[in-house]
Amino acid sequence: METEPPTVEWTGDGLRLLDQTVLPGRVEYVVVRDVGTLVDAIRRLVVRGAPALGVAGAFGVAIALREAAREGWDAAALAEAVTRVREARPTAVNLAAGVDRVRPLMGAGAEAVAAEAQAILDEDVRGNRAIGALGADWILRRLGDRPLRVLTHCNAGALATAGWGTALGVVRELHARGRVEMVYADETRPLLQGSRLTAWELARAGIPCAVQPDGAAPSTLLRGLADVAVIGADRIAANGDTANKIGSLGVALACAAAGAPLVVAAPWSTVDTALPDGRGVPIEERPAAEVLTWNGEPTAPAGVAAHNPAFDVTPARLVTALVTETGVLEVSSGQTPGAARPARG
């Protein structure tokens, strides 16, 4: 069993990002010492996953401060650079939250900002361990203390976080208890985060898995081949509506039809209590080339338009349980994040 290399790591003068665009074939890194490189890395999905984006965004403010000192930026140029980092991807609330948490420390300098960003990173790892344990406990109480078949969508593992993972953190904990029979990993079109990243993590951890086409997920659930679906989230509204990688809504609908629990695992920082419901979630539209080409070659006729939303929103009524580091909310039973008060400390 192998452990994943760090997704986001502060080197003292910049960030070292594990390049997730070249996995699983190669393990390479992108070194970031300027805002332009960081924004590009976020948009190209070199670094991705809501919790990891929150950490990268916080460190990005330190990078902006260092670049401002090198280049002689005025206050307006520095503020514009920080805003560019904050808005590099609109759906994941953690990116903005990470930037906003360290902004008040900008006057104290880059080192103070980097120290707070490191605290966010460390908190994420601890929180993910708690999510894993709480989620495993809930699932085994609900389904019985036995080996389970788990379906997951996209990648909500160590690669999407500062370590351990959210949805895959639950799977890792179940595996550590000897309670995983099989994981069905949706491939996650069009960029294949499930097959390239989730399967890579599961294989390295020694967890049995099978990659399946996204379109197979409803059949897998309705045929009774999976007992539970566990997914991550990029933004959760106060009423429990959940934004996650496109295709998650189909999984949720299939879970409801099959009578299987849909478990959403995410840190409390992903909950946007200022957002009443999922109608206000900004849905990122990705480049057309992601669905109209493959490896640079066209896969559709010339002139055809592309519809490429990166996320969808699952209504709260379809979310059986939301697991955060603060506890488990049974959302479809009326326990909403907006009414809950997270633990402090």
Burial of residue 47 (CB within 10 Å: 0-12, 13-18, 19+) is buried
Across 213-303, where does the E strand assignment appear?
Answer: 228-231, 235-237, 242-245, 262-265, 271-272, 293-294, 297-298
Indicate the pTM of the whole model.
0.94
State pLDDT tens for residues 134-186: 999 999 999 999 999 999 999 999 999 999 999 999 999 999 999 999 999 99
State pLDDT tens for residues 265-285: 999 999 999 999 999 999 999
Helix axes 75-86, 50-71, angle to 10 degrees: 160
CB 245 within 8 A of CB 310: yes
CB 20 within 8 A of CB 46: yes
- The CA-based angle 157-262-220, given to 5 degrees, is 90
Segment 9-13 mean pLDDT:
94
Q: Which residues neighbour 207 within 8 Å (Cβ) at sequence distance 6 or greater?
A: 171, 172, 175, 180, 183
pLDDT band at 344 (very low <50, low <70, confident <90, very high): very low
User: What pLDDT is stored for residue 342 in this prediction?
Assistant: 64
State pLDDT tens for residues 220-265: 999 999 999 999 999 999 999 999 999 999 999 999 999 999 999 9
290 φ, ψ (degrees, to nearest 5): -65, -30
CB 309 within 8 A of CB 281: no
pLDDT band at 343 (very low <50, low <70, confident <90, very high): very low
User: What pLDDT is stored for residue 191 in this prediction?
Assistant: 95
pLDDT band at 1 (very low <50, low <70, confident <90, very high): low
User: What pLDDT is stored for residue 2 in this prediction?
Assistant: 59
User: What pLDDT is stored for residue 4 in this prediction?
Assistant: 73
User: What pLDDT is stored for residue 5 in this prediction?
Assistant: 86
Segment 311-340 mean pLDDT:
97
Percent of the chain surpassing pLDDT 90: 96
The rounded mean pLDDT for the chain is: 96
Q: Which two tokens stand for residue 301?
A: 């006729």
Task: Give the residue numbers annotated as catalytic, written as ranges.
Answer: 234
pLDDT band at 34 (very low <50, low <70, confident <90, very high): very high
Q: Which residues neighbour 23 within 8 Å (Cβ) at sequence distance 6 or greater?
A: 159, 196, 197, 200
Segment 211-225 mean pLDDT:
98
Instruction: Return d(Cα 344, Cα 65) in angstroms, integer.
Output: 30
State pLDDT tens for residues 87-99: 999 998 999 999 9
User: What pLDDT is stored for residue 341 in this prediction?
Assistant: 66
Report strand pairing: 148-152 vs 180-186: parallel
From the centroid of its chain, how far is CA 235?
A: 9
Question: Peptide bond before 287: cis, by omega within 30 degrees of 0?
Answer: no
Residue 115, CA distances (Å) to 81, 104, 119, 128, 295 in order: 20, 13, 6, 20, 40
Instruction: Return d(Cα 94, Cα 8) in angstroms, integer.
Output: 14
State pLDDT tens for residues 101-146: 999 999 999 999 999 999 999 999 999 999 999 999 999 999 999 9
Residue with the two structure tokens 């390049």? 19
CB 147 within 8 A of CB 180: yes
